[in-house]
Chains A and B, each alone.
Chain A
Amino acid sequence: MIGKGFYQTLASPWLWGVLAVAACLPLVLNSYHLHLLTLALVYVALASAWNIVGGMAGQISLAHSLFIGTGAMLSTALLLKFGINMWAGLVIAAAISGALGAMIAWIDFRFQLGHLSFVLITLAFAEMGAIIVEGWEFLGGASGLLLPRDTGDLLAFQFGGGHGAFWVMLGLAAIIVLVNVAILNAPLGYYLRTIRDNEKAAQAIGVNVLRHKITAMTISAVLTSIVGTCYVRYLTFADPYLLATPTITIEIVLFATVGGLGRPFGPALGALLLVPLGEVLRGQLGGAVPGLHYFIYGVVVIVVILATPRGLLPLAERAWRGLRRRGPEPRPASVS
Chain B
Amino acid sequence: MALLEVDNISKRFGGLLALNDVSFSVEKGEILGIIGPNGAGKTTLFSVISGFAPPSSGEVRFDGQRITGISPDRLTRRGLVRSFQLVQTFADMTTLEVVTTAALTRRPIREAIDYAAAVLTRVGLGGKLDETPATLSLQDKKLLEVAKCVATDPQCILLDEVMAGLTMAETEAPMQIIRELNQSGVTIVMVEHVMPVIMRMATRMVVINFGEKIGEGTPDEIIKDQRVIDAYFGEHLDA
Spell out A's residues near B (CB within 8 Å): 1-4, 185-187, 190-191, 193-194, 196-198, 200-209, 262, 310
Contact = CB atoms under 8 A, between A and B. Distances in A.
24 contacts: A1-B110, A2-B109, A3-B110, A187-B109, A187-B112, A190-B101, A190-B104, A190-B109, A193-B92, A193-B97, A198-B89, A200-B52, A201-B84, A201-B148, A203-B72, A204-B84, A204-B88, A205-B76, A205-B151, A205-B152, A206-B73, A206-B81, A206-B105, A208-B74
B104 A187 contact: yes
Contacts of A194: 90, 93, 98, 101
Given A193-B90, A200-B52, A206-B73, 16 more contacts: A1-B109, A3-B109, A191-B101, A193-B92, A193-B97, A202-B101, A203-B72, A203-B73, A203-B76, A204-B81, A204-B83, A204-B88, A205-B76, A206-B105, A207-B73, A208-B71
B32 interface: no
A307 B101 CA distance: 31
Chain A to chain B: the 10 pairs with minimum beta-carbon distance, closest first: A201-B88, A197-B90, A206-B76, A205-B102, A206-B105, A190-B101, A203-B72, A203-B73, A194-B101, A3-B109
A196 B102 contact: no
Contacts of A187: 104, 109, 112
B97 A190 contact: yes
A140 B52 CA distance: 49
A2 B92 CA distance: 21
Nearest to B106: A206
Contact of A204 (B76, B89, B97, B100): B76
B117 to A, nearest CB: 13
Contacts of A2: 109
B178 to A, nearest CB: 18
Contacts of B72: 203-204
Given A4-B110, A200-B88, A205 B93 contact: no
Nearest to B83: A204
Contacts of A4: 110
B140 to A, nearest CB: 16
Q: Which of A194, A198, A205 has the most CB of B within 10 A?
A: A205
Contacts of A201: 84, 88, 90, 148
A3 B52 CA distance: 31
B88 A206 contact: no
A217 B84 CA distance: 29
A269 B124 CA distance: 38
Given A187-B104, A190-B97, A193-B97, A205 B81 contact: yes
Classify the interface of chain A: helix, strand, loop or mixed.
Answer: helix
A211 to B, nearest CB: 9
Nearest to A263: B92
Interface in B32-73: 50, 52, 71-73
A204 B113 contact: no
Nearest to B154: A206
Q: Which of B89, B100, B101, B148 has the most CB of A within 10 A?
A: B101
Nearest to B88: A201
Given A194-B93, A198-B88, A198-B90, A205 B109 contact: no
Contacts of B113: 3
A129 B151 CA distance: 44
A203 B53 CA distance: 13
Given A1-B110, A3-B110, A205 B105 contact: yes
A196 B88 CA distance: 13
Contacts of B105: 205-206
A190 B92 CA distance: 12
A55 B110 CA distance: 24
